[in-house]
Structure 1
Amino acid sequence: MRKTFFIACMNLVACAAIAQAQTIHLKPVWETDTTLRTPECVLVDPAKKVLYVACINGNPTLQNKGSYLAKVGMDGKVIKLKFTEGLNSTKGMGILGDKLYVTEMNQVAEVSLATGKILNRYPVAGAKFLNDIAIDTKKGIVYVSDSDDSKVWAITNGKPSLVLSGSPLKGPNGLLFENNQLLIGNGDGSLLSMDPATKKLTTLAKGMGGIDGIVALGNKKYVVTEWAGKVWYVQPDGKTELKLDTSKEKINSADIGYSASSQMLFVPTFFHNTVKAYSLK
Protein backbone atom coordinates (compact mmCIF):
# COMPACT_ATOMS: atom_id res chain seq x y z
CA MET A 1 0.00 0.00 0.00
CA ARG A 2 2.75 2.41 0.99
CA LYS A 3 4.83 1.39 -2.01
CA THR A 4 1.90 1.99 -4.36
CA PHE A 5 1.23 5.36 -2.76
CA PHE A 6 4.92 6.28 -3.07
CA ILE A 7 5.01 5.31 -6.76
CA ALA A 8 1.82 7.25 -7.42
CA CYS A 9 3.30 10.32 -5.75
CA MET A 10 6.48 9.98 -7.75
CA ASN A 11 4.45 9.70 -10.95
CA LEU A 12 2.57 12.87 -10.04
CA VAL A 13 5.84 14.68 -9.41
CA ALA A 14 7.23 13.45 -12.71
CA CYS A 15 4.09 14.52 -14.56
CA ALA A 16 4.24 17.93 -12.89
CA ALA A 17 7.89 18.28 -13.88
CA ILE A 18 7.08 17.36 -17.49
CA ALA A 19 4.21 19.84 -17.57
CA GLN A 20 6.48 22.52 -16.16
CA ALA A 21 9.15 21.72 -18.76
CA GLN A 22 6.62 22.08 -21.57
CA THR A 23 5.80 25.69 -20.80
CA ILE A 24 7.70 28.77 -21.96
CA HIS A 25 8.75 32.00 -20.34
CA LEU A 26 9.02 35.39 -22.03
CA LYS A 27 11.96 37.48 -20.85
CA PRO A 28 12.28 41.05 -22.21
CA VAL A 29 15.58 41.61 -24.04
CA TRP A 30 15.35 44.85 -26.02
CA GLU A 31 12.98 47.39 -27.52
CA THR A 32 13.53 49.49 -30.64
CA ASP A 33 13.27 53.25 -30.79
CA THR A 34 9.96 54.82 -31.86
CA THR A 35 10.93 55.60 -35.46
CA LEU A 36 9.01 52.46 -36.48
CA ARG A 37 5.63 54.08 -36.93
CA THR A 38 2.64 51.79 -36.41
CA PRO A 39 4.56 48.52 -36.87
CA GLU A 40 2.11 45.75 -37.74
CA CYS A 41 4.28 42.77 -38.69
CA VAL A 42 7.80 41.48 -38.01
CA LEU A 43 9.36 38.99 -40.41
CA VAL A 44 12.60 37.18 -39.58
CA ASP A 45 14.99 36.57 -42.48
CA PRO A 46 17.23 33.79 -41.10
CA ALA A 47 19.45 33.82 -44.20
CA LYS A 48 20.35 37.49 -43.90
CA LYS A 49 19.96 37.55 -40.10
CA VAL A 50 17.77 40.65 -40.18
CA LEU A 51 14.20 41.63 -39.38
CA TYR A 52 11.76 43.27 -41.76
CA VAL A 53 9.09 45.39 -40.12
CA ALA A 54 5.93 46.42 -41.96
CA CYS A 55 5.07 49.92 -40.74
CA ILE A 56 1.58 51.19 -41.52
CA ASN A 57 2.74 54.69 -40.54
CA GLY A 58 -0.71 55.99 -39.75
CA ASN A 59 -4.27 54.80 -40.02
CA PRO A 60 -4.67 51.25 -41.39
CA THR A 61 -7.07 52.28 -44.17
CA LEU A 62 -7.12 52.11 -47.95
CA GLN A 63 -6.17 55.79 -48.26
CA ASN A 64 -2.85 55.38 -46.43
CA LYS A 65 -0.05 55.74 -49.00
CA GLY A 66 2.82 56.38 -46.59
CA SER A 67 3.52 52.85 -45.38
CA TYR A 68 7.02 51.41 -45.54
CA LEU A 69 9.16 48.39 -44.72
CA ALA A 70 12.02 48.87 -42.27
CA LYS A 71 15.15 46.75 -42.03
CA VAL A 72 16.20 46.09 -38.42
CA GLY A 73 19.12 44.18 -36.90
CA MET A 74 18.68 41.23 -34.60
CA ASP A 75 19.86 43.56 -31.82
CA GLY A 76 16.96 45.97 -32.35
CA LYS A 77 18.95 48.68 -34.08
CA VAL A 78 17.40 50.12 -37.22
CA ILE A 79 19.60 49.38 -40.25
CA LYS A 80 17.47 51.20 -42.82
CA LEU A 81 14.25 52.89 -41.75
CA LYS A 82 12.64 53.00 -45.19
CA PHE A 83 13.96 49.93 -46.98
CA THR A 84 10.82 50.03 -49.14
CA GLU A 85 8.60 53.11 -49.51
CA GLY A 86 5.35 54.01 -51.23
CA LEU A 87 3.29 51.18 -49.81
CA ASN A 88 -0.35 51.22 -48.77
CA SER A 89 -1.36 50.15 -45.25
CA THR A 90 1.17 47.30 -45.08
CA LYS A 91 0.51 44.31 -42.88
CA GLY A 92 1.55 40.65 -43.25
CA MET A 93 4.75 39.55 -44.99
CA GLY A 94 6.43 36.43 -46.33
CA ILE A 95 9.61 35.48 -48.20
CA LEU A 96 9.78 33.31 -51.31
CA GLY A 97 13.21 32.96 -52.89
CA ASP A 98 14.77 36.40 -53.28
CA LYS A 99 11.49 38.26 -52.97
CA LEU A 100 9.37 39.55 -50.11
CA TYR A 101 5.59 39.71 -50.33
CA VAL A 102 3.49 42.16 -48.31
CA THR A 103 -0.25 42.89 -48.22
CA GLU A 104 -1.70 46.27 -49.24
CA MET A 105 -5.41 46.10 -48.39
CA ASN A 106 -6.63 44.82 -51.80
CA GLN A 107 -3.38 43.72 -53.42
CA VAL A 108 -0.06 42.07 -52.64
CA ALA A 109 3.23 43.82 -53.38
CA GLU A 110 6.33 41.91 -54.48
CA VAL A 111 9.59 43.43 -53.21
CA SER A 112 13.21 42.68 -54.10
CA LEU A 113 15.13 41.55 -51.02
CA ALA A 114 18.34 42.79 -52.63
CA THR A 115 17.24 46.36 -53.30
CA GLY A 116 13.96 46.95 -51.47
CA LYS A 117 12.33 48.05 -54.74
CA ILE A 118 8.74 47.12 -55.57
CA LEU A 119 8.83 44.70 -58.50
CA ASN A 120 5.16 43.87 -59.00
CA ARG A 121 1.73 44.28 -57.50
CA TYR A 122 -0.93 41.58 -57.64
CA PRO A 123 -4.51 42.87 -57.22
CA VAL A 124 -7.02 40.49 -55.63
CA ALA A 125 -10.44 41.13 -57.14
CA GLY A 126 -13.06 41.98 -54.53
CA ALA A 127 -10.62 41.93 -51.63
CA LYS A 128 -11.63 44.10 -48.68
CA PHE A 129 -8.89 43.86 -46.04
CA LEU A 130 -5.96 41.64 -46.98
CA ASN A 131 -4.05 41.00 -43.80
CA ASP A 132 -1.53 38.23 -43.23
CA ILE A 133 0.65 36.11 -45.51
CA ALA A 134 2.03 32.56 -45.31
CA ILE A 135 4.08 30.86 -48.00
CA ASP A 136 4.40 27.28 -49.18
CA THR A 137 8.00 27.59 -50.35
CA LYS A 138 8.04 24.15 -51.98
CA LYS A 139 5.10 24.86 -54.28
CA GLY A 140 5.62 28.61 -54.54
CA ILE A 141 2.16 29.48 -53.19
CA VAL A 142 1.53 32.77 -51.37
CA TYR A 143 -1.49 32.43 -49.05
CA VAL A 144 -3.31 35.60 -48.01
CA SER A 145 -6.10 36.20 -45.49
CA ASP A 146 -8.92 38.70 -46.03
CA SER A 147 -10.14 39.58 -42.55
CA ASP A 148 -13.14 41.69 -43.58
CA ASP A 149 -14.45 39.15 -46.10
CA SER A 150 -13.66 35.91 -44.20
CA LYS A 151 -11.63 34.46 -47.06
CA VAL A 152 -8.26 32.92 -47.72
CA TRP A 153 -6.63 33.46 -51.11
CA ALA A 154 -3.66 31.90 -52.86
CA ILE A 155 -1.36 33.62 -55.35
CA THR A 156 0.53 31.26 -57.64
CA ASN A 157 2.74 32.62 -60.43
CA GLY A 158 1.10 36.02 -59.95
CA LYS A 159 -2.46 34.70 -60.29
CA PRO A 160 -4.87 34.90 -57.30
CA SER A 161 -7.38 32.13 -56.61
CA LEU A 162 -9.89 31.63 -53.82
CA VAL A 163 -9.00 28.88 -51.32
CA LEU A 164 -11.57 29.18 -48.54
CA SER A 165 -14.64 31.32 -47.92
CA GLY A 166 -17.29 31.66 -45.24
CA SER A 167 -17.98 29.56 -42.16
CA PRO A 168 -16.19 28.42 -40.09
CA LEU A 169 -13.90 31.29 -41.10
CA LYS A 170 -14.75 34.44 -39.17
CA GLY A 171 -12.46 37.40 -39.64
CA PRO A 172 -9.36 35.26 -40.30
CA ASN A 173 -6.06 37.05 -39.80
CA GLY A 174 -2.86 35.23 -38.81
CA LEU A 175 -1.49 32.60 -41.20
CA LEU A 176 1.37 30.11 -40.95
CA PHE A 177 2.43 27.36 -43.33
CA GLU A 178 4.09 24.42 -41.57
CA ASN A 179 4.46 20.70 -42.29
CA ASN A 180 2.29 20.93 -45.41
CA GLN A 181 -0.56 22.46 -43.44
CA LEU A 182 -1.92 26.01 -43.47
CA LEU A 183 -2.65 27.31 -39.98
CA ILE A 184 -5.31 30.00 -39.74
CA GLY A 185 -5.87 32.34 -36.81
CA ASN A 186 -9.61 32.90 -36.70
CA GLY A 187 -11.37 36.02 -35.48
CA ASP A 188 -13.30 33.95 -32.93
CA GLY A 189 -10.06 32.97 -31.18
CA SER A 190 -9.72 29.49 -32.63
CA LEU A 191 -6.55 28.19 -34.26
CA LEU A 192 -7.40 26.15 -37.35
CA SER A 193 -5.35 23.87 -39.59
CA MET A 194 -6.17 23.32 -43.26
CA ASP A 195 -5.03 20.46 -45.48
CA PRO A 196 -4.31 22.22 -48.81
CA ALA A 197 -5.14 19.07 -50.79
CA THR A 198 -8.61 18.49 -49.34
CA LYS A 199 -9.39 21.93 -47.82
CA LYS A 200 -10.40 20.05 -44.66
CA LEU A 201 -10.23 22.20 -41.52
CA THR A 202 -9.26 20.96 -38.06
CA THR A 203 -9.45 22.97 -34.84
CA LEU A 204 -6.12 22.88 -32.99
CA ALA A 205 -7.01 25.23 -30.12
CA LYS A 206 -9.69 27.69 -29.07
CA GLY A 207 -10.68 30.05 -26.29
CA MET A 208 -8.41 32.94 -27.21
CA GLY A 209 -9.31 36.32 -28.71
CA GLY A 210 -9.02 37.12 -32.42
CA ILE A 211 -5.63 35.77 -33.50
CA ASP A 212 -3.23 38.19 -35.20
CA GLY A 213 0.17 36.46 -35.43
CA ILE A 214 1.25 32.80 -35.36
CA VAL A 215 4.76 31.36 -35.05
CA ALA A 216 5.88 27.75 -34.69
CA LEU A 217 8.23 26.59 -31.94
CA GLY A 218 8.46 23.03 -33.25
CA ASN A 219 6.79 19.79 -32.13
CA LYS A 220 3.33 21.29 -32.70
CA LYS A 221 3.87 24.10 -30.22
CA TYR A 222 2.93 27.64 -31.19
CA VAL A 223 2.88 31.20 -29.95
CA VAL A 224 -0.06 33.32 -31.09
CA THR A 225 -1.01 36.92 -30.42
CA GLU A 226 -4.11 39.01 -30.03
CA TRP A 227 -3.76 42.52 -31.41
CA ALA A 228 -5.08 44.04 -28.18
CA GLY A 229 -1.95 42.98 -26.28
CA LYS A 230 -2.07 39.29 -25.40
CA VAL A 231 0.48 36.58 -26.20
CA TRP A 232 -0.58 32.94 -25.91
CA TYR A 233 1.34 29.67 -25.83
CA VAL A 234 -0.44 26.76 -27.55
CA GLN A 235 0.62 23.26 -26.55
CA PRO A 236 0.39 20.15 -28.79
CA ASP A 237 -2.80 18.99 -27.04
CA GLY A 238 -4.52 22.33 -27.70
CA LYS A 239 -4.14 23.71 -24.20
CA THR A 240 -3.39 27.42 -24.08
CA GLU A 241 -1.49 29.58 -21.61
CA LEU A 242 -1.59 33.37 -21.47
CA LYS A 243 2.09 34.34 -21.30
CA LEU A 244 1.91 38.13 -21.67
CA ASP A 245 -0.86 40.71 -21.29
CA THR A 246 -0.11 44.37 -21.98
CA SER A 247 -3.69 45.31 -22.87
CA LYS A 248 -4.16 47.40 -19.73
CA GLU A 249 -1.12 49.46 -20.70
CA LYS A 250 -2.62 49.78 -24.21
CA ILE A 251 0.47 48.19 -25.73
CA ASN A 252 -0.60 46.05 -28.67
CA SER A 253 0.84 42.75 -29.83
CA ALA A 254 0.37 42.47 -33.57
CA ASP A 255 1.88 40.04 -36.11
CA ILE A 256 4.93 38.45 -34.44
CA GLY A 257 8.19 37.05 -35.78
CA TYR A 258 10.34 34.28 -34.32
CA SER A 259 13.99 33.28 -34.65
CA ALA A 260 14.42 29.56 -33.99
CA SER A 261 18.22 29.83 -33.83
CA SER A 262 18.21 32.40 -31.02
CA GLN A 263 14.78 31.47 -29.58
CA MET A 264 13.72 35.10 -29.72
CA LEU A 265 10.18 36.39 -30.19
CA PHE A 266 9.67 39.80 -31.82
CA VAL A 267 6.44 41.64 -31.02
CA PRO A 268 5.32 44.75 -32.95
CA THR A 269 3.45 47.08 -30.59
CA PHE A 270 1.46 48.93 -33.27
CA PHE A 271 0.37 52.32 -31.82
CA HIS A 272 3.21 52.11 -29.27
CA ASN A 273 5.57 52.46 -32.27
CA THR A 274 8.20 49.90 -31.27
CA VAL A 275 9.20 46.28 -31.65
CA LYS A 276 9.91 44.37 -28.44
CA ALA A 277 12.14 41.30 -28.29
CA TYR A 278 11.63 38.50 -25.79
CA SER A 279 13.80 35.47 -25.09
CA LEU A 280 12.02 32.12 -24.88
CA LYS A 281 15.03 30.23 -23.51
Structure 2
Amino acid sequence: MKKLTLFWFTLLIPFITFSQSITKVWESDSLFLKPESAFYDSSKKILYISNINGEYLAKDGNGFISKLKTNGEIEVLKWVDGLDNPQGMGLYKRKLYVADINRVVQINTETAKIEKVYHIDNAIFLNDIAIDANGDIYVSDCFGNKIYKISNGKINIWNESDFLSKPNGLLCTKKDLLVLNMESKTAFAINKLTQKYHQIFSGIDNLDGIVSNGKNGYIVSGAWQGQLFNIDEDGNKTLIIDLGKEKIITADIEYIANDNLLIVPTLNKTVIGFRLGK
Protein backbone atom coordinates (compact mmCIF):
# COMPACT_ATOMS: atom_id res chain seq x y z
CA MET A 1 0.00 0.00 0.00
CA LYS A 2 1.28 3.45 -0.84
CA LYS A 3 1.91 5.87 1.95
CA LEU A 4 -0.59 8.65 2.44
CA THR A 5 0.40 11.66 0.41
CA LEU A 6 0.03 14.93 2.32
CA PHE A 7 -0.07 18.44 0.92
CA TRP A 8 0.55 21.51 3.04
CA PHE A 9 0.31 24.45 0.69
CA THR A 10 -2.22 27.17 0.16
CA LEU A 11 -4.30 26.86 -2.98
CA LEU A 12 -3.62 29.92 -5.09
CA ILE A 13 -6.65 31.09 -7.02
CA PRO A 14 -6.07 34.81 -7.67
CA PHE A 15 -9.54 35.75 -8.86
CA ILE A 16 -11.35 34.48 -5.75
CA THR A 17 -12.72 37.12 -3.39
CA PHE A 18 -14.03 34.71 -0.73
CA SER A 19 -13.02 35.94 2.72
CA GLN A 20 -11.49 32.61 3.76
CA SER A 21 -8.19 31.12 2.60
CA ILE A 22 -8.32 27.64 1.12
CA THR A 23 -5.58 25.11 1.90
CA LYS A 24 -5.29 21.64 0.44
CA VAL A 25 -4.19 19.63 3.47
CA TRP A 26 -4.31 16.07 2.20
CA GLU A 27 -5.18 13.74 -0.64
CA SER A 28 -5.94 10.09 0.09
CA ASP A 29 -4.14 7.10 -1.34
CA SER A 30 -5.31 6.25 -4.87
CA LEU A 31 -7.33 3.23 -3.78
CA PHE A 32 -10.89 4.44 -4.17
CA LEU A 33 -12.91 3.36 -7.20
CA LYS A 34 -15.12 6.18 -8.44
CA PRO A 35 -15.69 7.78 -5.01
CA GLU A 36 -18.97 9.67 -5.41
CA SER A 37 -20.17 10.88 -2.03
CA ALA A 38 -18.74 11.68 1.42
CA PHE A 39 -20.68 11.72 4.68
CA TYR A 40 -19.35 12.52 8.15
CA ASP A 41 -20.42 10.50 11.19
CA SER A 42 -19.70 12.90 14.06
CA SER A 43 -20.34 10.25 16.73
CA LYS A 44 -17.53 8.07 15.37
CA LYS A 45 -15.45 10.89 13.87
CA ILE A 46 -15.25 8.98 10.61
CA LEU A 47 -16.17 9.65 7.00
CA TYR A 48 -18.15 7.23 4.86
CA ILE A 49 -17.25 7.26 1.16
CA SER A 50 -19.48 5.67 -1.48
CA ASN A 51 -17.63 3.98 -4.37
CA ILE A 52 -19.42 3.25 -7.64
CA ASN A 53 -16.67 0.87 -8.86
CA GLY A 54 -18.10 0.17 -12.31
CA GLU A 55 -20.27 1.63 -15.00
CA TYR A 56 -22.87 4.18 -13.98
CA LEU A 57 -26.29 2.63 -13.27
CA ALA A 58 -24.94 -0.90 -13.70
CA LYS A 59 -26.51 -3.38 -11.30
CA ASP A 60 -23.24 -5.25 -10.93
CA GLY A 61 -22.83 -5.61 -7.17
CA ASN A 62 -19.39 -3.96 -7.36
CA GLY A 63 -20.21 -0.85 -5.32
CA PHE A 64 -18.96 -0.42 -1.78
CA ILE A 65 -18.67 1.98 1.16
CA SER A 66 -15.30 2.94 2.65
CA LYS A 67 -14.34 4.43 6.02
CA LEU A 68 -11.94 7.36 5.83
CA LYS A 69 -10.30 9.19 8.74
CA THR A 70 -10.43 12.98 8.80
CA ASN A 71 -6.67 13.12 8.23
CA GLY A 72 -7.10 11.40 4.87
CA GLU A 73 -6.04 7.93 5.97
CA ILE A 74 -8.20 5.08 4.72
CA GLU A 75 -9.37 3.06 7.72
CA VAL A 76 -11.29 0.37 5.81
CA LEU A 77 -11.49 0.38 2.02
CA LYS A 78 -14.37 -2.09 1.65
CA TRP A 79 -16.31 -1.63 4.86
CA VAL A 80 -19.62 -2.65 3.25
CA ASP A 81 -19.75 -4.12 -0.25
CA GLY A 82 -22.27 -5.75 -2.57
CA LEU A 83 -23.91 -2.49 -3.64
CA ASP A 84 -24.60 -1.52 -7.25
CA ASN A 85 -24.19 2.20 -7.82
CA PRO A 86 -23.98 3.81 -4.36
CA GLN A 87 -24.41 7.57 -4.39
CA GLY A 88 -25.59 9.96 -1.65
CA MET A 89 -25.89 8.96 2.00
CA GLY A 90 -27.65 9.99 5.18
CA LEU A 91 -27.40 8.96 8.82
CA TYR A 92 -30.06 8.55 11.51
CA LYS A 93 -29.67 6.76 14.84
CA ARG A 94 -26.56 4.80 13.81
CA LYS A 95 -28.16 3.68 10.56
CA LEU A 96 -26.51 4.74 7.32
CA TYR A 97 -28.85 5.08 4.34
CA VAL A 98 -27.41 4.84 0.83
CA ALA A 99 -29.07 5.69 -2.50
CA ASP A 100 -28.43 2.78 -4.88
CA ILE A 101 -30.14 3.16 -8.31
CA ASN A 102 -33.72 2.16 -7.41
CA ARG A 103 -33.33 1.24 -3.78
CA VAL A 104 -32.23 2.72 -0.46
CA VAL A 105 -29.97 0.46 1.56
CA GLN A 106 -29.97 0.68 5.36
CA ILE A 107 -26.65 -0.22 7.02
CA ASN A 108 -26.05 -0.70 10.73
CA THR A 109 -22.92 1.34 11.46
CA GLU A 110 -22.12 -0.78 14.52
CA THR A 111 -22.10 -4.12 12.71
CA ALA A 112 -21.44 -3.03 9.08
CA LYS A 113 -24.38 -5.20 8.05
CA ILE A 114 -27.13 -4.36 5.58
CA GLU A 115 -30.27 -4.56 7.71
CA LYS A 116 -32.96 -3.46 5.30
CA VAL A 117 -33.49 -2.52 1.67
CA TYR A 118 -36.21 -0.11 0.55
CA HIS A 119 -37.04 -0.94 -3.07
CA ILE A 120 -38.44 1.94 -5.14
CA ASP A 121 -39.31 0.09 -8.32
CA ASN A 122 -40.34 3.11 -10.41
CA ALA A 123 -37.22 5.09 -9.60
CA ILE A 124 -34.66 5.53 -12.38
CA PHE A 125 -31.58 6.99 -10.70
CA LEU A 126 -31.72 7.66 -6.97
CA ASN A 127 -28.98 10.18 -6.33
CA ASP A 128 -28.91 11.87 -2.94
CA ILE A 129 -30.38 11.46 0.52
CA ALA A 130 -31.23 13.96 3.25
CA ILE A 131 -32.67 13.04 6.64
CA ASP A 132 -34.35 15.48 9.02
CA ALA A 133 -34.52 15.51 12.80
CA ASN A 134 -37.71 13.41 12.72
CA GLY A 135 -35.98 10.62 10.83
CA ASP A 136 -37.88 11.31 7.59
CA ILE A 137 -35.71 10.32 4.63
CA TYR A 138 -35.82 12.36 1.40
CA VAL A 139 -34.36 10.82 -1.77
CA SER A 140 -33.84 12.53 -5.13
CA ASP A 141 -34.52 10.62 -8.35
CA CYS A 142 -32.32 12.53 -10.76
CA PHE A 143 -33.60 11.01 -14.01
CA GLY A 144 -37.15 10.52 -12.77
CA ASN A 145 -37.56 14.18 -11.71
CA LYS A 146 -39.05 13.16 -8.38
CA ILE A 147 -38.29 13.33 -4.69
CA TYR A 148 -39.32 10.34 -2.62
CA LYS A 149 -39.92 10.29 1.11
CA ILE A 150 -39.50 7.33 3.43
CA SER A 151 -41.34 7.86 6.70
CA ASN A 152 -42.13 5.19 9.29
CA GLY A 153 -41.01 2.58 6.77
CA LYS A 154 -43.42 3.75 4.07
CA ILE A 155 -42.28 5.06 0.67
CA ASN A 156 -44.18 7.80 -1.16
CA ILE A 157 -43.57 10.28 -3.95
CA TRP A 158 -43.14 13.51 -1.99
CA ASN A 159 -42.67 15.99 -4.83
CA GLU A 160 -42.75 15.85 -8.63
CA SER A 161 -43.25 19.54 -9.43
CA ASP A 162 -42.27 21.11 -12.74
CA PHE A 163 -39.40 23.05 -11.15
CA LEU A 164 -37.55 19.78 -10.55
CA SER A 165 -34.99 19.43 -13.33
CA LYS A 166 -32.71 16.46 -12.74
CA PRO A 167 -32.72 16.95 -8.96
CA ASN A 168 -29.44 15.92 -7.42
CA GLY A 169 -28.06 17.19 -4.10
CA LEU A 170 -30.38 17.50 -1.09
CA LEU A 171 -30.02 19.15 2.31
CA CYS A 172 -32.52 19.38 5.16
CA THR A 173 -32.82 22.51 7.24
CA LYS A 174 -35.25 22.89 10.13
CA LYS A 175 -38.11 24.00 7.87
CA ASP A 176 -37.04 23.26 4.30
CA LEU A 177 -35.63 20.67 1.97
CA LEU A 178 -33.00 22.25 -0.30
CA VAL A 179 -32.75 20.78 -3.79
CA LEU A 180 -30.09 21.24 -6.48
CA ASN A 181 -31.22 20.89 -10.11
CA MET A 182 -28.49 19.74 -12.48
CA GLU A 183 -30.33 20.49 -15.71
CA SER A 184 -31.75 23.96 -14.96
CA LYS A 185 -28.71 25.04 -12.90
CA THR A 186 -30.99 26.16 -10.06
CA ALA A 187 -31.45 25.52 -6.35
CA PHE A 188 -34.79 25.60 -4.52
CA ALA A 189 -35.97 25.51 -0.93
CA ILE A 190 -39.16 23.49 -0.41
CA ASN A 191 -41.08 23.86 2.85
CA LYS A 192 -41.39 20.37 4.33
CA LEU A 193 -44.92 20.99 5.64
CA THR A 194 -46.59 23.06 2.93
CA GLN A 195 -44.30 22.26 -0.05
CA LYS A 196 -44.29 25.94 -0.95
CA TYR A 197 -41.01 26.70 -2.64
CA HIS A 198 -38.70 29.49 -3.71
CA GLN A 199 -35.50 29.69 -5.69
CA ILE A 200 -32.26 30.19 -3.75
CA PHE A 201 -29.80 30.76 -6.60
CA SER A 202 -29.13 29.87 -10.23
CA GLY A 203 -26.37 29.73 -12.81
CA ILE A 204 -24.07 26.91 -11.66
CA ASP A 205 -23.46 24.04 -14.08
CA ASN A 206 -23.62 20.39 -13.01
CA LEU A 207 -24.89 21.00 -9.49
CA ASP A 208 -24.13 18.00 -7.31
CA GLY A 209 -23.45 18.31 -3.57
CA ILE A 210 -24.73 20.85 -1.04
CA VAL A 211 -23.66 21.24 2.60
CA SER A 212 -24.01 23.89 5.26
CA ASN A 213 -20.98 26.18 5.44
CA GLY A 214 -21.34 26.31 9.23
CA LYS A 215 -22.76 29.82 9.13
CA ASN A 216 -25.92 30.97 7.36
CA GLY A 217 -25.03 29.75 3.90
CA TYR A 218 -23.91 26.72 1.92
CA ILE A 219 -21.11 25.20 -0.08
CA VAL A 220 -22.12 23.56 -3.36
CA SER A 221 -20.23 21.64 -6.02
CA GLY A 222 -20.33 21.96 -9.79
CA ALA A 223 -19.14 18.43 -10.35
CA TRP A 224 -17.92 17.93 -13.88
CA GLN A 225 -16.14 21.29 -14.17
CA GLY A 226 -14.46 20.78 -10.78
CA GLN A 227 -15.81 23.88 -9.06
CA LEU A 228 -16.89 24.65 -5.51
CA PHE A 229 -18.94 27.70 -4.54
CA ASN A 230 -19.89 29.44 -1.33
CA ILE A 231 -23.53 30.57 -1.26
CA ASP A 232 -24.34 33.27 1.27
CA GLU A 233 -27.67 33.75 3.06
CA ASP A 234 -28.89 36.03 0.24
CA GLY A 235 -28.12 33.49 -2.47
CA ASN A 236 -24.99 35.24 -3.73
CA LYS A 237 -22.42 32.77 -5.03
CA THR A 238 -18.62 32.97 -4.85
CA LEU A 239 -16.25 30.55 -6.53
CA ILE A 240 -13.85 29.28 -3.86
CA ILE A 241 -12.10 26.35 -5.56
CA ASP A 242 -11.64 25.62 -9.26
CA LEU A 243 -10.01 22.29 -10.08
CA GLY A 244 -11.06 22.31 -13.71
CA LYS A 245 -7.58 22.91 -15.09
CA GLU A 246 -6.39 19.84 -13.21
CA LYS A 247 -9.35 17.88 -14.65
CA ILE A 248 -10.51 16.95 -11.15
CA ILE A 249 -14.22 16.35 -10.57
CA THR A 250 -15.86 17.66 -7.41
CA ALA A 251 -18.69 15.26 -6.63
CA ASP A 252 -20.96 14.99 -3.56
CA ILE A 253 -19.03 16.93 -0.90
CA GLU A 254 -19.03 17.01 2.89
CA TYR A 255 -18.03 19.81 5.28
CA ILE A 256 -16.95 19.32 8.88
CA ALA A 257 -17.61 22.76 10.33
CA ASN A 258 -15.78 22.23 13.63
CA ASP A 259 -12.58 21.45 11.73
CA ASN A 260 -13.21 23.81 8.79
CA LEU A 261 -12.56 20.73 6.65
CA LEU A 262 -14.13 20.33 3.21
CA ILE A 263 -14.13 16.78 1.83
CA VAL A 264 -14.17 16.33 -1.95
CA PRO A 265 -14.68 12.92 -3.63
CA THR A 266 -13.17 13.08 -7.12
CA LEU A 267 -15.04 10.27 -8.91
CA ASN A 268 -11.63 8.91 -9.82
CA LYS A 269 -9.34 7.26 -7.25
CA THR A 270 -8.89 9.78 -4.47
CA VAL A 271 -10.66 11.98 -1.95
CA ILE A 272 -9.22 15.43 -1.18
CA GLY A 273 -9.39 17.45 2.04
CA PHE A 274 -9.33 21.27 2.01
CA ARG A 275 -9.06 23.51 5.05
CA LEU A 276 -11.14 26.69 4.98
CA GLY A 277 -9.35 29.26 7.15
CA LYS A 278 -10.29 32.84 8.05
Q: TM-score, normalised by structure 2?
A: 0.90
What amino acid is the match of 1:153?
Y
Deviations 1:69-100 (A, max 9, x none): 00011111111111101011000000000100
> RMSD across aligned C-alpha pairs, in angstroms?
1.3
Q: Secondary structure of the residue that 1:218 maps to in structure 2? A: coil
Q: Which of 149, 153, 157 is the equivalent residue of 1:154?
A: 149
Matched, 1:40 2:10: no
Return the letter of the residue paired with 1:185.
L
Consecutive unaligned residues of structure 1, counting only runs of 5 or more, are 1-19
Displacement of 1:214 in angstroms is 0.4
Q: How does 1:142-181 map to 2 (within 5 A)?
A: 142-181=137-176
Work out the CA distance in 1 between the residues paired with 2:217 and 2:59. Answer: 38
Map residues 1-281 of structure 1 onto 2, 5 A cutoff: 23-137=19-133, 139-187=134-182, 188-228=184-224, 229-271=226-268, 273-281=269-277
Contact 1:24 1:233 in 2 (8 A): no
Superposed structure 1 runs of 4+ greater than 3 Å apart: 22-25
Q: Distance in 1 between matches of 2:261 and 2:27?
A: 13
Q: Quick check: which one's helix share is greater?
A: 1
Superposition deviation, residue 166 in structure 1:
3.6
Displacement after TM superposition at 1:247 (Å) = 2.3
Find the aligned partners of 1:218 and 1:256 in 2 and give their Cα distance.
Answer: 14
- For 1:249 and 1:208, the matched residues in 2 are separated by 19
Segment drifting more, 89-98 vs 210-219: 210-219
Q: Give the structure with higher Rg (CA).
A: 1
AA partner of residue 174 (structure 2): N
Percent of aligned pairs with the same amino acid: 36
CA contact (8 A) 1:257 1:266 kept: yes
Instruction: Give the C-alpha shift of residue 179 in structure 1.
Output: 2.3
Residues 151-160 or 128-137, more deviating: 151-160
> Which amino acid is 1:277 matched to?
G
Aligned to 1:15: none
The one-letter code matched in structure 2 to 1:234 is I
How far 1:133 moved relative to its partner? 0.4
Aligned residues: 259
Counterpart of 1:51 in structure 2: which amino acid?
Answer: L
Q: Could you tell me how far 1:103 is from its partner in structure 2?
A: 0.7
